[in-house]
Structures are given as C-alpha cells and as structure tokens.
Amino acid sequence: MNDEGEGKMKNPEDYQAKPDKTIKEHSLELIDELDRLNNLGYIKNDQIYELTKKACWYHDFGKANKEFQKRVMSEKKIRMSLEREVFHNILSVFLIQPDAFESKDDYYKVTQAILFHHDYAESYEDVYDQLKSRKELCTALLNEFPLVPIKNRLQLELIKRIEDDQVVKIKGLLHKCDYSASGGFVAEYPNDFLESGLENLGYDWNDLQKFCIDHRNENIIAVAQTGMGKTEAGLLWIGNYKGYFVLPLRTAINAIYQRIVGDETKKIVSEKLDERVALLHSSSLSYYLEMAEKNKKELVEMGMDGIDVEEYQKRGHQHSIPLNISTMDQLFDFVFKYQGYELKLATLSYSKIVVDEIQMYDSDLLAYLIMGLKRICELGGQVAILTATLAPFVEDELKMAIPGIIKQGFYDNSLRHNLKVKDEEICIDDILAHYTANKDSGIGNKILVICNTVKKSQEVYEKLRQSGKVENDEVFLLHSKFTRGDRAKKEEAIKNFGKTYVGDSHEIDVRNGIWVSTSLVEASLDIDFDYLFTELQDLNSLLQRLGRCNRKGVKSIDQTNCYVYTVINEKLFIINGHGFIDSDIFNISKAALSQWDGPISEKQKLTLINDNLTTEKLKKSNYYKAYKSKCDWIASIAAYTIKQKEIDLRHIFSEEIIPSPIFERYRDKITKLVEQINQPNMERKEKLRLKELLYQYTLSVEKYHVTNYEKAKFKGEALTFEPLRIGKFETIQVLECSYDESLGFRKLEKSQIRNPEFL
C-alpha cells in the first residue's frame, strides 16, 4: 500500500508494532492475509476488500505513541500505565485521514472497525468517553504527528453503523487478519480436496446426494429417512468451499470426523489433515491427543506422525481450516454480539453451514440457531438443513428466516417397523416375554430399551437382572452418568453388539442381549437392534429411536418389533422451571399415535410429524412460547452489551465430579495423576495427556447434587473429601454417592450418607 495520502503518519516503518516488527511490516502482513482470503474467493465485494485493506493499514498506527514505543523497545517488560497511556485502538482514530476515503460513510465504517478492534475497555461507551475526556493526553502522546480533529458527531455516526452489514464484515475480517498475522498462522487454508475425496469413495450417489450436488449454490432443506447417507450429502453440498457441519452431540461429531479421516479403507481426507478438517467442540484437544496416541501407524502413513495437536486445535478454533465438524455453541454464540463477535460472523458469511439433527435442540437452542442462520444468510452465507424429521413449525420458522430456501423430501414406502402403542408404563413383562420366546426360537434377539431418564433406565435394568429370566451377562446399561472411562467402554460394546451383519458379510448378526439406555442413543450411535421398547417423549424423538431398530430394513417385520409406552412420570413435564418434556407436545404426540398397531412406512412417519407438529397446533405450547420469547430477546440485544465470558449457550447446570467409590478404589492412581499434573514446568501437551487420564474417572452430574452435598458436609452430616486441585483455576469435587460399573452414578439418600462421626 502506498504510504502517501494514506494517513497522517508518513513513516510507519520507523515505529514498532511489536519488538520484532514495525507497524508497516505488521500492517502489510495483515494485508497479505486479506489477499489470501480474496484470492480464495471469500470476499465477493470489491468495496469490502478495499475498506478492509485500509482498516488493516491504519489499525495499529496508534502504537506509534511515545509511551508504547518506550515499552515495546525496552529490554525489560513494562506494564501499560492507564494514567500515562491510552489504548492504541483509540489513538489510531486520530491518525486516520478522512480524505483517503471516497465518502464520509466509508471513513466512518473503517473508523468503527479500528476503534473496536480490541476489547480493552469496560464498555463501548467507555471507548467513546476516552476519545472525549482524554483528548489532551491523546494529543500529547502523538504530538509529533499532524492529528485529525475528533468532532462530537463522530460518536453518533459510529453508533449508527455499529451493526451495519459492511461494518460487521470489515471488522470481522480485520480481526481475522490481525489474529493470523500476530499469531503467525494462515487465515484460511484452501478447500481443494473435498470433491475429489468424495468421488474417490467410488459410490453411486442417490437422489438425496444428487439433489445436494445440483443445489450447491442454494439454501436447502432436505428431509431424508435414516440410512440415506445424509453425511455424504452434506459434504457433497459443501463441495470445495469453506464449510461447517453442525451437530448437537459430541459423540456424533467425533463419529463423523472419524468417517472423514479414520475409515480404514475409504478415507475422504488422507493427507494434510491438520490443514483440512477440524473438530470444534469443548473437548477437541483431548480427542486429538487420544487420536494421535491410538493411530500412530495411520498418521505415519499419512505423513503426519509429527503433527502438533496444539497447533492443529488452535487453527480450528481460529477458523482457519476449511472443513469443520462442530457443536452449535462453538459457532452461534455470535448472536449475543459480544465485542469481537464479528470475526465469527464474517467467517460464516462466506461459509456453507450444514445443520444435521435440528430436531434435537430445545427451544432456546433452536432460537439461537435460527436467528443465527438468518443473520448468516443476510451477510452471504449458505445453509443446508439435513434431517430425518422436521416439524412443520420449524420449517415455517426457517422459511421466514431464510426467504427462498428450497425443501425436498426423500423417503420411500419401505417398511422397517411394526409398531404397537400401549397406553401404559413401560412393561418389564413384555420385554422378558419377547426375550425368552426369541431365545427359545433361536431368532435375532437384540433388544433395545429406551427410557426418558437415567433413573428410569436404572430401575428397568435392575428389574430385568432381578427377574431371573435373563443371564447377567446378557443385560447391559448405558446412560450419561457413567465415568468417561466406563462410558467409552460401554459405547464401544453397544456398537459392536448392534452391528447388522457379521463382519463384512451380508449374514445377519444374531445374538441374545438386552441393552437399556436413554435418549443418549437417539442420534449419536450407529446401532441396529431387532426390537425396541421405548417410553414416549414426543414424535420427533420417537422417530429417532425407531431408527435404532431394523436400521437397514433387512429384518422381518411380520411381528411387532417396536413397542411404545405412552404413560410416563408426570414430574418430567415442564412446570415452574422443572422438568424437560413439554406436556402439550407430549399429549399431541400421544393422541397422534393412539392405538397404532401394525406396520408403519417411512411416508406414514413423516405424515405423523407433518399433521401434528404444526405451528397452529403448537402455538399455545410452552415450547413454542419459549422459542418465540427467546427470538425476541435475541433480536433486542445491543452490540457489545454482553461479555463473551458471560455467555452460556448450553445452559451448563452440571459439574464434573469423581464418585467417592471410584476415588476410594483408585485413590493412589488418582492422587499420583494430580501430583504429576501440578508439577511446575510440566510440558503442556503432557499435562493435557495426564488430565485426560484423570478425566476417565469423572462424570458429569447436575450442580444441585454438588450443592446439596456441600451443605451436608458443612453441617457435619457427610464425609468430607478434599476437592482435587488441578492447576491454579480448576478443581474436581469428590462426591459421596453410589457408583458401580453396572448401574453408574446414583445419589445417596440422607440415611445412606456416611456420618464422619462413625468412621
């Protein structure tokens, strides 16, 4: 960029932005990253490119002030003095020459982006206050430069543009280029591999997948039955472009990541893994470490045995990698408009976002998702909704948020399920009768029982074991309240048990066994059972659960293979902030299913959804009201009024604990791990590896369990375990409870808690 006429500072090469870089060098590095984005085709508007280029050039001019130069050139580290200095983003505004812009509007847009490219102040009002109240100090700090006078109307002009579409993009791209240049990493790696990687699989694409290829440049909704290859369809729609695949559960995300990079015979990505595909969830670094440990041989074959997992994870979280598999909370927190949200939104504005399993989100998360998709599409991003079921009211909301979105259904009239609905509680006798009859007949006898709560699943499991009609090694339990180590083993076991075929043959795998579980298995595990016994939660959930039975449609449905029980514990209904099942949606679902007895086709399942979960029928439900209320609240959020650290998109009301029986059994191992983790000068990678070993002994419980236990300890009514301190900021509580590898976590009744007086 030509220095002449570009600003009030003629020699940016004479001042340091960092100890090893001048302001000019750093600014040109930003422009190099901006050009990288432009050359990839991600900046579609020439004006956005030119204005962002100016923002990159000017953004750090304020660092030329005397005090900053003293500090940056000092051999000793000197802390910034808030009395003697002003933040450089504020000072830069005095050096932006309005005459360098074609219009005042352009000048204001770039000034807004630069003024807020750091989040040093308490609030955005504080930034403007400093511009006014510390004007004399600003002038003194920059007294060797001719300064642009700051007029009172500047604040008004900038506030008017704070959420302007172009300002959001300019500021977001400035953040992206600045972080990349400062961190020494690439702003975006190219996606030049996905289409060829998919073609190398050698598949004949079905109608769903062809639809996604044909409509790559449009926003789409594709409703397709289980087993049609939605993952491949979503990847085909993304093509050779920046893309995000969004799912609700980490286990499902990890599974898709493995399909892309870890399939033993058909990898979609077989090289440059750390530049091509990323995991975005709260445990991604742990997953990478585990993968690097387990798959050393494969990584050597891919030429990646020296992969730096920390650098890999950092690239993903800076949104530099072209293909990303993500949880919703990693992306859609931008709807809170925290300071700096523009980086994420600007990136998504040139990306293609695939949303899978949209029916899994509660009312709040659905609101964040749809309001976020609306804003992404307004700024130029594209969206594909791929799902097995889509409630009409959600479709209505999507069509309002994304005008012109195209919907297509993909299903056949195949029959996979013979359904019997029973107006009673889930029945142990029914399960046992089927199990013993099937076992006597020597036919497929894989039975899956799905309950609405962990507690109910434990009750059913215990009754089955106590019946004397099932061998103990033929009944199993899986839910979310096992330690990470135990749960991983159980998930591997259920996947192995739930295979359709024996090995690579087309011989159906016949076994005897009952697995009792919860909604955990609805979407996260690829399993195929012969029979399903399930409590009703709602129609969407039911169709997901049906997908775990006769998944491939190759088993007989001459007899009933799915039983649905429509009497559940009414304490689960949402009342006064308690419960999690909407009673209106439950009752609508129950009425729709009443007395169903016989085969149900894929088309009939969709008809159940389409006829019953409509806007008209749900508009008085708590779920719909909560959704609308949350949308209104999101729309009312003013920019920079919420701090990013205050955001809790997932409403995390849980806490990681170590069950007391586990702690007492493995006390020496756990204590040693804690000691090793807390050793000074421990290499970060090794510390993370040790932490991951420690977390294998933990599980997540609702916070009220911990709160109640703390109260009991304080009163001297419970045994005290000292919290395990992991580094400076993290502790893990040891919680007195019941725990074993069969049942998992159970809280103790007050009478069961060991009183320290008697120990």
Burial class of residue 314 (count of CB atoms within 10 Å of its CB; 0-12, 13-18, 19+): middle
Q: What is the pLDDT of residue 1?
A: 54
What mean pLDDT is predicted for residues 665-689? 92
User: Which residue has better confidence, 749 or 474?
Assistant: 474
Per mean pLDDT, which range of 175-179, 262-266, 344-348 is the poorest? 262-266
With a pLDDT cut of 70, the percent of the chain lying above it is 94
Torsion of CA 582, 584, 586, 590, to 10 degrees: 180
Q: What is the pLDDT of residue 100?
A: 93
User: Which residue has better confidence, 612 or 310?
Assistant: 612
What mean pLDDT is predicted for residues 323-352? 97
Q: Is the pLDDT assigned to residue 126 strictly greater than 60?
A: yes
Q: What is the pLDDT of residue 266?
A: 76
Q: Which residues pair with 232 in a beta bridge?
A: none
Q: What is the pLDDT of residue 650?
A: 65
Q: Is the pLDDT assigned to residue 651 strictly greater than 80?
A: no
Note whether residue 306 is domain-resident.
yes
Burial class of residue 281 (count of CB atoms within 10 Å of its CB; 0-12, 13-18, 19+): buried
Q: Is the pLDDT assigned to residue 513 strictly greater than 70?
A: yes
Note whether residue 303 is domain-resident.
yes
CA dihedral (92, 95, 99, 100) positive or negative? negative
pLDDT band at 753 (very low <50, low <70, confident <90, very high): low
Q: What is the pLDDT of residue 298?
A: 61
Q: What is the pLDDT of residue 4?
A: 38
Domain end residue (candidates: 593, 611, 631): 593
Q: What is the pLDDT of residue 583?
A: 95
Structurally, the chain folds into a number of domains equal to 4
Tell me the H-state helices in 239-295: 250-261, 284-294
What mean pLDDT is predicted for residues 218-237? 94
Q: Residue type at 415? A: L
Residues 179, 198 within the same domain: no
pLDDT band at 653 (very low <50, low <70, confident <90, very high): low
Residues 379, 440 within the same domain: no
Q: What is the pLDDT of residue 270?
A: 85
pLDDT band at 539 (very low <50, low <70, confident <90, very high): very high
What mean pLDDT is predicted for residues 432-460? 96
**Which two structure tokens, joined as six digits, stand for 451?**
């309950």
Residues 439, 390 within the same domain: no
Note whether residue 418 is domain-resident.
no
Residues 374, 446 within the same domain: no
Residues 137, 272 within the same domain: no
pLDDT band at 119 (very low <50, low <70, confident <90, very high): confident
Note whether residue 83 is domain-resident.
yes
pLDDT band at 94 (very low <50, low <70, confident <90, very high): very high
Query: d(Cα 12, Cα 116) in Å, to the nearest integer?
Result: 21
Q: What is the pLDDT of residue 397?
A: 98
Place of tokens 């939660």: 537
Q: What is the pLDDT of residue 70?
A: 93
Q: Is the pLDDT assigned to residue 122 strictly greater than 80?
A: no
Question: Residues 12, 3: contact at Cβ < 8 Å?
Answer: yes
pLDDT band at 756 (very low <50, low <70, confident <90, very high): very low
Note whether residue 177 is domain-resident.
yes
Q: What is the pLDDT of residue 758?
A: 30
What mean pLDDT is predicted for residues 463-482? 96
Per mean pLDDT, which range of 160-169, 378-387, 722-731 is the poorest? 722-731
Question: Residues 220, 410: contact at Cβ < 8 Å?
Answer: no
Domain extent, residue 707, equals: 654-758
Q: What is the pLDDT of residue 420?
A: 98
Query: d(Cα 399, Cα 382) in Å, to the nearest integer?
Result: 14
Residues 658, 715 within the same domain: yes
What mean pLDDT is predicted for residues 501-518? 94
pTM summary value: 0.91
Q: Residue type at 41? A: G
Q: C-alpha angle 277/282/286, rounded to 5°?
A: 75
Note whether residue 604 is domain-resident.
no
Place of tokens 């009220």: 704
| pLDDT tens per residue across span 282-322 | 888 888 887 777 766 666 555 556 678 888 999 999 999 99
Q: In what order do the strands lie in the sheet with 512-517?
A: 475-477, 512-517, 445-450, 531-535, 562-565, 415-422, 597-601
User: Which residue has better confidence, 299 or 147?
Assistant: 147
Q: What is the pLDDT of residue 64?
A: 95
Buried (b) or exposed (e) across 631-660, using 16+ Cβ within 10 A? beebeeeebbebeeeeeebbeeebbebbbb
**Which two structure tokens, joined as six digits, stand for 4?**
């002449």
- CA distances 230 to 139, 193, 221, 234, 236, Å, are 60, 19, 12, 6, 10
Q: Is the pLDDT assigned to residue 749 strictly greater than 80?
A: no
Per mean pLDDT, which range of 111-125, 640-654, 685-699, 717-731 is the poorest? 640-654
Residues 230, 141 within the same domain: no
Domain at 58, CATH number: 1.10.3210
Average pLDDT, the chain: 91
Q: What is the pLDDT of residue 759?
A: 32
Q: Is the pLDDT assigned to residue 729 strictly greater than 90?
A: no
What mean pLDDT is predicted for residues 549-565? 95
Domain end residue (candidates: 593, 609, 626): 593
What mean pLDDT is predicted for residues 269-294? 86
| pLDDT tens per residue across span 591-606 | 999 989 999 999 999 9
Q: Is the pLDDT assigned to residue 189 strictly greater than 80?
A: yes
Note whether residue 598 is domain-resident.
no
Q: Is the pLDDT assigned to residue 82 strictly greater than 90?
A: no
Residues 219, 358 within the same domain: yes
Q: Is the pLDDT assigned to residue 755 strictly greater than 60?
A: no
Residues 542, 579 within the same domain: yes
Residues 343, 244 within the same domain: yes
Q: What is the pLDDT of residue 5?
A: 41
Note whether residue 135 is domain-resident.
yes
- CA distances 84 to 87, 117, 121, Å, are 10, 21, 16
Residues 485, 340 within the same domain: no
Residues 224, 337 within the same domain: yes
Domain at 356, CATH number: 3.40.50.300
User: Which residue has better confidence, 755 or 685?
Assistant: 685
**754: which DSSP letter?**
P
Q: Is the pLDDT assigned to residue 115 strictly greater than 60?
A: yes
Q: Is the pLDDT assigned to residue 552 strictly greater than 80?
A: yes
Q: Which of 577, 334, 656, 738 is nearest to 326 (CA)?
A: 334
Q: Is the pLDDT assigned to residue 150 strictly greater than 80?
A: yes
| pLDDT tens per residue across span 351-398 | 999 999 898 899 999 999 999 999 999 999 999 999 989 999 999 999
Domain end residue (candidates: 183, 202, 226): 183
Phi (first) and psi of residue 721, to 5 degrees: -110, 130
Per mean pLDDT, which range of 174-188, 467-481, 647-661 is the poorest? 647-661
Q: Is the pLDDT assigned to residue 711 strictly greater than 90?
A: no
Q: What is the pLDDT of residue 717?
A: 67
Q: Is the pLDDT assigned to residue 497 strictly greater than 70?
A: yes
What mean pLDDT is predicted for residues 446-455? 98
Q: What is the pLDDT of residue 377?
A: 98
